[in-house]
Structure 1
Amino acid sequence: MRRLAAVGLTLMLGACAGPGGMSEPWRGSADGWTPVAAEIRTVGLGVPGGVRLAPGVRYAGGVRIVAPTGDRLHGLSDLKLADGDVIAVTDAGDLVRGRLAFDRRGRLAGLSGLRLRGLTGEDGRAFPTKADGDAESLAITAAGDLVIGFEQRPRLWSYGPLDALRDRPSPLPVPPVPPGNEGLEALAAGPDGLRAAAEGGGVWDCAPARCAEIAPPPSTPPAVGDWRVTGMDRDPAGDGWFIVERLYREPFDMRARLRRMDASGRPGPVLATLSLPSTTDNFEGVAAVAGATGTRLYILSDDNDNPRQRTLLLAFDLDSRKP
């Protein structure tokens, strides 16, 4: 993704960061995962005025992941959930895994057991450059396979079962997206394969044989400061998809919004908008899971390893009785 020059955001985004503790160590890394330490702080929605929630949408808690500058636990670009764990990918080609924790009301309140492992290329080796490892999206198929989407050099690679990841991924058909910052940015598993979207526009459904265009890219490339699709997941109720979008205008205007997307790839109703002076950041990932009364959405922000930005994981609940 395009790195954001988020000058001056520290004070405005710092509201409502509560006390927290270090993430619990994860014992045993014979499977390739290495424990990583981070401070986990609870966060609220911050100063009123910048949050708009549609009827039937409510905030369900959130945390901030705080890691030392230069640590590998930065640049988290997408996430999905598996067996109560968050599975995230970084734009340097690392996987991150952690266990969600909740308070008595069921709101997101913590993240424990954080661990990390590096992805590898088709030769089974670490990526030689950051551009090679620029992973911006991930999906977990119905069979449990992990698929990673890369942006700078567009690829879709399957690493096999999440609990038995392969060192040598299998290439899958990839949409005809341009290399660079306008390319492959969002990915989700559907009933018949994968759905992918580019930051510069366009939606494709990808089967094992090929990718079919569902919504074409715009005839005119999006301008700086336009809304961009940065993450996607399928509605667990089977009724369409959810997307997260980002808007950034230098130096201070950073916004995010959650909305629906229909089967034809057309954006639908906006469910939530985050902007200053409330809590917001560079949100790039979304995961949807079925809850007791509806759907819960998790959104994840990419801090670009920039001390003026934050890695945030926020939750929102959608009442199944509302649109």
Structure 2
Amino acid sequence: MSISLRRFGAIASVLILAACATATSAPLLDGHVDDQGWRAEAFTTRAVGLGLPGGPVLADGVTYAGGIEIQLPIGSPLHSVSDLKLTGGDGFVSVSDIGDLVQGRLVLDSRGRLTGVRDLAVRRLTLPDGSDITEKYDGDAEGLLFLDNGDLVVSFERNHRLWNYGPLDALRNIPTALRRPDVAFAENDGMEGIATAPGGWRVTGESGGVWDCNPAACVTVTAPPEPLLGDGDFRITGMDRDPSGKGASQGGWFVVQRSYRPPIDARAQVRRMAPDGTLGPVLITLKLPGLTDNFEGVAAERRNGTTRLYILSDDNNNPLQKTLLLAFDVR
């Protein structure tokens, strides 16, 4: 979901202060398109810290493992990325809310800290007739998941749906519809958090509600609140399966939540979600006067005996915001 952030101007200076001075340039790419339709894109990165004391709050056992701002040219299709999933090795995939699929590779230093990304490329998502998505109404992609068979599923809002595009290394131009909750989501407020679940997939609505789905049906885990949540409350904007042995065997998830209270109070937090939809204690909080932005993606993996979380922010194609990718380790 996009949020109106001309009002974000007052926190732009704080975000700049929170960023470290070190800047690293990726080689400018020439727009080459491969035989699968992926087009290389230009970018630079800059290392960032968590910012001023009194902003970030990390629970016991959670440590910051590096982060970057991905700096993009005006007009780049890499703006407004939402959600994040890992693809094995150092690969990752994201989507934009204008209808692009994005992939790239993480760069880690010798200590395993996130220091950059490389090989960023985009591919246009398509409609059931095989043509490229061209309208915002059809292209507002917000969530990603990989089914157990490896197929990539994208969630969209405005025109609410879940579409299966097949395996990432052989994407289909003709997506197939996947079952979704039979809920009248608001236009700009839909299925932001999606992830695999035992026997199928789990869906969360940004204004509330959790559903477990399979090809036959969607079952309500928690119903949306009445009335629906307002913009000032923390709302789930991304979700991924807990990869730890304990959590994964019981169907646990990690979620990232966003809160925005005008004119400048933007916050993010990360929590665990239990199979019954209840949320655990807050593990990560990002808020002023530290580094903060519109975080909409979370991805989890096991690394060296701990759980590594990556969270990604959507800059809404707004020059006052940042595309941030941050890493945290959870013991």
Q: Please tell me the TM-score bracket, short chain as reference.
A: over 0.9
CA contact (8 A) 1:232 1:287 kept: yes
Q: Name the counterpart of 2:25.
A: 21
Rounded Cα–Cα distance in structure 1 between residues aligned with 2:83 and 2:135: 20
CA contact (8 A) 1:7 1:251 kept: no
**Structure with greater proportional helix content:** 2
Q: What are the within-5 Å matches in structure 2 for residues 168-207 of structure 1?
A: 168-177=174-183, 178-207=185-214
Shift of 1:181: 2.0
The answer (yes or no) to whether the contact 1:121–1:168 under 8 Å persists in 2 is yes
Mapped partners of 2:302, 2:283: distance in 1: 16
Aligned ranges for residues 296-311 of structure 1 at < 5 Å? 296-311=308-323
Q: CA deviation at 1:302?
A: 0.2
- The residue type paired with residue 21 of structure 1 is S
- Partner SS for 1:40: strand
Residues 225-252 of structure 1: CA deviation (Å, up to 9, x unaligned) = 1111000011012141100000001111
The answer to whether the Cα contact below 8 Å between 2:257 and 2:295 also exists between their aligned partners in 1 is: yes
| Aligned equivalents of 2:225, 2:324: Cα separation in 1 | 30
Could you say what secondary structure the match of 2:233 adopts? Answer: coil
CA contact (8 A) 2:130 2:174 kept: yes
Residue 132 of structure 2, aligned match among 117, 120, 126: 126
Contact 1:286 1:300 in 2 (8 A): yes
Within the candidate set 265, 268, 285, 1:256 is matched to: 268
1:60 aligns with 2:65: yes
Matched position secondary structure for 1:316: strand
Question: Contact 2:42 / 2:73 at 8 angstroms: preserved in 1?
Answer: no
TM-score (norm 1): 0.96
Per the TM alignment, residue 28 of structure 1 is displaced from its structure 2 partner at its CA by 6.1
What is the aligned length?
319
Coordinate RMSD, CA, aligned: 1.4
Q: Is the 8 A contact 1:24 1:112 kept in 2?
A: no
Identity of aligned residues (%): 50
Q: Which residue number in structure 2 is paired with residue 50 of structure 1?
A: 55
TM superposition score normalised by structure 2: 0.93
Secondary structure at 2:102's aligned position in 1?
strand
The answer on whether the counterparts of 1:151 and 1:181 sit within 8 Å (CA) in structure 2 is yes
**Are the counterparts in 2 of residues 131 and 153 from structure 1 also a CA contact under 8 Å?**
yes
Q: Does 1:32 align with 2:30?
A: no
Match of 2:228 in 1: 221
Contact 2:2 2:316 in 1 (8 A): no
> What is the identity, as a one-letter code, of the residue corresponding to 2:329?
D
User: d(CA) in 1 for partners of 2:126 and 2:217?
Assistant: 24
Q: Is 1:117 the counterpart of 2:119 in the alignment?
A: no
Structure 1, gaps ≥5 residues long: none
Contact 1:253–1:276 (CA under 8 A) maintained in structure 2: yes
The residue identity in structure 1 corresponding to 2:13 is L
Per-residue deviation, residues 99-155 of structure 1 (Å, max 9, x unmatched): 111112110001001111000011111223112100000001221110000011110
Please report how far the alpha carbon of residue 70 of structure 1 lies from its aligned counterpart in structure 2 after TM superposition.
2.1
Q: Deviations over 1:6-42 (max 9, x none)?
A: 2222211112243111256486611110000101111
Q: Kindly indicate whether the alpha-carbon contact (under 8 Å) linking 1:234 and 1:241 is maintained by their aligned counterparts in 2.
A: yes
Instruction: State whether structure 2 residue 153 is matched by structure 1 residue 147.
Output: yes
Paired residues of 2:82 and 2:296 also in contact (CA < 8 A): yes
Give the aligned residue type for 2:43. A
Give the CA deviation at 1:224.
2.6
Whichever residue aligns with residue 23 of structure 2, its letter is P
